[in-house]
Structure 1
Amino acid sequence: MTASESDDPRAFVPYGTPDAPRVAVRGEAHLEVDPEIARLGITVTARGRDRRSALDDLTRRNTTVLDLVKSCGEAVERLETGAFSITPELTRHGRGERVRTYHGAVRITAELTDFTLLGELTTHLADLDLTHVDGPRWDLRPDSPAHREARRQAVREAVQRAREYAEALGTTLAALVELADIGAEVSSPHQAAPGRMRSAAYAVAAETDAAAPLDLEPERQHVYAAVHARFTMNPPAL
């Protein structure tokens, strides 16, 4: 530090002084909120003795799944195809390598925001041949108001805690010196929502012997936020 900087009263001091004692606190917030998104992972598979038959079968089943998901209308916020593969399976015996059969697979991800349709959609998908359904996985949007509210509550708790320390010394806070965001994240859900989201009918061709819709209960999401804050206090009379 140069002489001119040391004479500057505004120069940064990394510690408190008798005239401006500092207090450092941590503020935390834990919220429990309803999920906003339900994700389904759908894997459609097919097998055939030749590549063309496996591909045709896979195309037909993929179209069936996409039409089924799209029939939910505006309840589907996102529908994406993530991976596609056609793989030959060779015979294990014999002198020469021969293709025994072909395996095809398509990976689809669907995000729904209306959970009243989720149970029936999941049941219909699971009832399809050679179709694997993974989910639902409950989540919040990245820009969910719950994240913002958690951060606000963490800051308010930090201010309140600093005031309590100052009051214990018989003084008051003077100024905020630093506020550091040390992370905000959604932890693994631990508890289901108190109310069940029952399935409603949607426009699909369903047979009379179709499986009964699943009665799914969305899992509550736990939002956590924490901050570090440093304040200066008015000099207490000790």
Structure 2
Amino acid sequence: MTTSPQPAPYGTPEVPRVAVRGEARLEVDPEIARIGITVSARGTDRRGALDDLTRRNSAVLDLVKSYGDAVEKLSTGAFVITPQLTGKGRGERVRSYHGRVHVTATLSDFTALGELATRLGDLELTGVDGPWWSLRPDSPAHRDARQQAVREAVQRAREYAGALGAELTALVELADEGAEGPSAPASPSGARTRGYAGGGAESEPRALDLEPQRQTVYARVNARFTMSPPQL
């Protein structure tokens, strides 16, 4: 039984290959922003702490939902109720109960973002972290970066071939190394507040003026081409 010969991995003098990498780096405006909300309660009685936590959590959810379509996603994360002990050994007893609920809100309307973050921070025992700016997974920016990386790879290969008096003849391989946004959520840019008293009869605080943080999109590809014999 005979097998057909495998092509040389690096080409031949008659059909040489050229391997290049194409890269792209785009700076674009963010499409969404996330804020983390922590609702807290404490008290000497477990039921009282739970009731306070439930009431404050409902107030937070109602406030966020009041912004309608500006909020793309609202989700509740961890819920914790913990007894705080005092004393040690046989004298150990429960001193108080601390409760927390974590909520995450994703917004696409940045005009509403500053106002919502400020109003949340003004609520009783409610903390706000963020915003974390990002792109949607299906953002056109990722496609644009990949296409630009491919065009750069082709252009680079043509330049190498041209330097040898040759021309590209075929594409052998195109390997996508992936197009990705920031490796970690962008650092919060200012909205980190915590409220310890309700608004009461006071007027609402002035909304924070938040400046969206531009996002960096990367794309990298490896490409292999065959080219005509060089003119050496």
Query: TM-score when scaled to structure 1?
Result: 0.87
SS at match of 2:229: coil
> Residue in 1 aligned with 2:143?
148
The gaps in structure 1 that reach 5 residues or longer are 191-204
The amino acid across from 2:203 in the alignment is D
Q: Percent identity?
A: 70
Q: Do residues 222 (structure 1) and 221 (structure 2) align?
A: no
SS at match of 1:5: coil
Q: Could you list the per-position Cα deviations for residues 29-70 of structure 1 after superposition, in whole angstroms to 9, with x for gaps in the alignment?
A: 010001011000001000011110000000000000001100
How far has the Cα of 1:116 moved from its partner?
Answer: 0.7
SS at match of 2:206: coil
**1:81 is matched with which residue: 61, 76, 80?**
76
Aligned counterparts of 1:160 and 1:150: Cα–Cα separation in 2: 15
Q: Do residues 235 (structure 1) and 229 (structure 2) align?
A: yes
Q: Do residues 127 (structure 1) and 122 (structure 2) align?
A: yes
Aligned counterparts of 1:101 and 1:94: Cα–Cα separation in 2: 18
SS at match of 2:214: strand
How far has the Cα of 1:237 moved from its partner?
Answer: 2.4
**2:181 is matched with which residue: 177, 182, 186?**
186
Aligned counterparts of 1:206 and 1:153: Cα–Cα separation in 2: 55
The amino acid across from 1:49 in the alignment is T
**1:49 is matched with which residue: 17, 33, 44?**
44
Please tell me whether the aligned partners of residues 87 and 104 of structure 1 are also in contact (alpha carbons under 8 angstroms): yes
Distance 1:162 1:94, change over 3 A: closer
SS at match of 1:103: strand
Q: Do residues 101 (structure 1) and 100 (structure 2) align?
A: no
SS at match of 2:138: coil
Please tell me whether the aligned partners of residues 189 and 219 of structure 1 are also in contact (alpha carbons under 8 angstroms): no
How far has the Cα of 1:206 moved from its partner?
Answer: 9.2
Q: Could you list the per-position Cα deviations for residues 136-167 of structure 1 after superposition, in whole angstroms to 9, with x for gaps in the alignment?
A: 00001111110111000000000011011111
How far has the Cα of 1:189 moved from its partner?
Answer: 8.6
SS at match of 1:219: coil
Please tell me whether the aligned partners of residues 189 and 222 of structure 1 are also in contact (alpha carbons under 8 angstroms): no
> Residue in 1 aligned with 2:4?
5
CA RMSD of aligned residues (A): 2.0
> Residue in 1 aligned with 2:26?
31
Query: TM-score when scaled to structure 2?
Result: 0.89
Count the aligned residue pairs: 220
Distance 1:189 1:153, change over 3 A: farther
Please tell me whether the aligned partners of residues 19 and 225 of structure 2 are also in contact (alpha carbons under 8 angstroms): yes
Runs of 4+ with deviation above 4 angstroms: 205-208
